[in-house]
Amino acid sequence: KRVAQSAGSALWAGTTGLTDTGGGATDVIVVRHSNGRLVSTSFHAQLPKLSKQDFMGTRVSLFVNNIPTGVSMVLDRELICCFDDGSYRASHSDLESMRLRPGKNTIRYEMIHPCNNDRRYTIRANIHLWNIWDKITVVDIDGTVTKTDVAGFGAEKLGYEYIHSGVCEAVSEISRQGYRILFLTSRAITLAQSTREFLCTIGQSNGGTGMPEFCLITTTERFLPSLVVGVRSADKFKTVALQEILRIFNPEMQNYKRADDVVEQIPGWRVDTAPVLVGADKWDKLWHGPSETEDDEASNASTHAGSDSDKDKDRLGGLDSEDSEGMQRVLLKRESESFSGSSGAVGSGSKDPSGVFVCGFGNRLTDTAAYNAVGIPPERNFLIDQSSQIRMTGVYNQVFDGYTGLLPHIRRLLPALNSRGEPLYRKKGRGTCPLDCDCDEVVL
């Protein structure tokens, strides 16, 4: 009996990471617009279920690059982190206080036990500061990086690399061309950290090329609910997650949402239900940060900087509550014509006018459907099968023999970008490739 109990305890300890008791956080993308304003995706973080004790209302401090930011979040009853107004998005002033470096930054969510200051609970993720002109390639993980969905996940947990040959080299080549890499997976948020570690270590066993710098987005569900999402509604989850990224790059895709608006909840993605106002045709008229004179006047006149009302006002673009409510009523109908439905609704105004997403890799039709919904062109929407054959969804007779067969053509399909996100090909459209590409042609 004692041996059975010890074996059961060891088995439980070994599978803790696969149960609903773990915590985790998705990566965050921050974009600085031309007017200097910072906009971010949601800060999705969930602490592990430590005990039956109620931690609701406990403060969670945010550290960026191991430096305290002065920004904090609060836990709800499900141990989900949110800001004081119930939003998952940080304000412009909060993002400025993080002092982000271009590219990848580390972020740490730290909670101190309310009854014991020596007990600290932390979860880690990355926060990325990208440019407004950056272009993104989206890559699925299970079945796309790994050879199959289930076997690839199981082999990872056992310490084996069951991945498609050449996947790290192909993704690295795309990154060298100047494109940002976004891994989008239906895995649980509780597996986010182990997935990061997996992506950082694959491809290096025999001196090969590992994965380049990347951003990771998972579902906001724990382990068991995420399995249902992966089977039933993976396309809806991935579409709404990609749409949120589109909205931080394209202010004209934002819509007005009031507190009494009904928000469609998408399985696998926690939609922000806090009232926000980031209007399309009013973006340039909103507050874009104080000038030097206004900053001096504000510092002399106000003694309550950082209060909740100021933060709420900051999230509303610097408008007073009465003005914002009036503007919401006036522009809500106009916005609904170009972006119908509530925030996060699948298929509503989801096409990308600026071409942020340029390429996508997946292994299921749900992946290609989600990529198509956000404007990825069919000729760059790739579908890979278990035999590593890669097919262009828009060109059915074009098949590549795995990532190794696709590798020589990446420079033709995805032209190199300069520091402003502009393709490095001749304006006339044809000529020799500026890089040493075997194809020796440029495709517009």
DSSP conformation letters of 279-328: -STTGGGS-----HHHHHHHHHH-S-TT-HHHHHHHHTTT--HHHHHHHH
Segment 307-361, tens digit of pLDDT? 444 544 444 444 444 444 444 443 333 333 332 333 333 333 445 556 899 999 9
Q: Which residues pair with 32 in a beta bridge?
A: 38, 131
Residues in the chain: 444
DSSP conformation letters of 232-275: H-HHHHHHHHHHHHHHHH-GGG---B-TTS--PPBTTB----S-
Q: Please tell me the predicted confidence (pLDDT) of residue 40.
A: 95
Split at pLDDT 50, 70, 90, the class of 290 is very low
Residue 260 above 60 pLDDT? no
Q: Is 423 helix (H, G, I), strand (E, B) or coil?
A: strand
> Exposed, middle or buried: residue 318 (CB in 10 Å: 0-12, 13-18, 19+)?
middle
Instruction: Name, of 221-225, 261-265, 335-339, 386-390, the range with top average pLDDT.
Output: 386-390
> Exposed, middle or buried: residue 215 (CB in 10 Å: 0-12, 13-18, 19+)?
buried
CA contacts within 13 A on the Cβ side of 305 = 11
Residue 363 above 80 pLDDT? yes
* CA nearest to 91, candidates 391, 338, 307: 307
What's the whole-number mean pLDDT along residues 419-430?
Answer: 66
CA angle 59, 27, 375 (to 5 degrees): 135
Q: Please tell me the predicted confidence (pLDDT) of residue 412.
A: 85
What's the whole-number mean pLDDT along residues 130-156?
Answer: 83
Segment 32-58, tens digit of pLDDT? 998 999 999 999 999 887 665 678 889
Quote the CA–CA distance of 320 and 262 in Å, as a whole number.
23
Quote the CA–CA distance of 219 and 221 in Å, as a whole number.
5
- Residue 180: count other Cβ atoms within 10 Å of its Cβ: 24
What's the whole-number mean pLDDT along residues 182-196?
Answer: 93
Q: Among 152-161, 282-291, 294-303, 408-417, whose mean pLDDT is lowest?
A: 282-291
308 contacts 84 by C-beta, under 8 angstroms? yes
Segment 89-136, tens digit of pLDDT? 999 999 999 999 999 999 999 998 777 777 788 999 999 999 999 999
What percent of the chain clears pLDDT 70, i.e. is strictly above it? 64
Split at pLDDT 50, 70, 90, the class of 266 is confident
Mean pLDDT (the chain, rounded): 74
171 contacts 203 by C-beta, under 8 angstroms? no
Residue 171 above 90 pLDDT? yes
Complete edge-to-edge strand list for the sheet that includes strand 59-64: 38-40, 28-32, 120-131, 103-112, 59-64, 67-75, 81-82
The token duo for 211 is: 């994965």
Q: Please tell me the predicted confidence (pLDDT) of residue 335.
A: 31
Q: Please tell me the predicted confidence (pLDDT) of residue 157.
A: 58
Split at pLDDT 50, 70, 90, the class of 419 is confident
Helix 223-232 with 234-249: angle, nearest 10 deg: 90
* CA nearest to 110, candidates 166, 71, 143, 140: 71
- Furthest-apart CA pair in the chain: how many Å? 79
CA angle 97, 317, 43 (to 5 degrees): 50
**What DSSP state is assigned to residue 101?**
P
413 or 253: whose pLDDT is higher?
A: 413
157 contacts 151 by C-beta, under 8 angstroms? no
For residue 227, the surrounding DSSP H or E stretch is: helix 223-232
Residue 164 above 60 pLDDT? yes
Quote the CA–CA distance of 22 and 350 in Å, as a whole number.
33
Sequence letter at residue 111: M
